[in-house]
Amino acid sequence: MAELMIELRCPKHGLERFKIKIIRKFNIKADLIMPRFRSRPETSGLSSLLVGRDVSNMEIEKYLINYFREKGLFEAILKMKLV
């Protein structure tokens, strides 16, 4: 399991940091990326990503970039780092 640390500019709080867990599962499709959402509302809404065994880190980054673009948060991101 790995985590992705994200820092972004928040108009309400200034700087906001949060982590998204990346959980590699072996009992799902090998190329599947499935998001899990938080029960409480937050900026991103994502709690973790369940990924198959054949998904690379580049594919995970592309998925998250597309997700944040759709949410309109990509321009506010300052740093994305795999921890």
The span from the CA of 49 to the CA of 70, in Å, is 17
Strands 2-10 vs 46-51: parallel, antiparallel or unpaired: unpaired
pTM: 0.81
Residue with tokens 């506010």: 76
Q: Model confidence over 30-76: pLDDT tens digits?
A: 999 999 887 766 666 788 999 999 999 899 989 999 999 998 889 99
Provide the 10 A C-beta neighbour count for residue 53.
13
Domain boundaries in the chain?
Answer: 2-82
- State the pLDDT at residue 41: 61
Q: Which one, of 26, 77, 82, lies nearest residue 59 by Cα?
A: 82
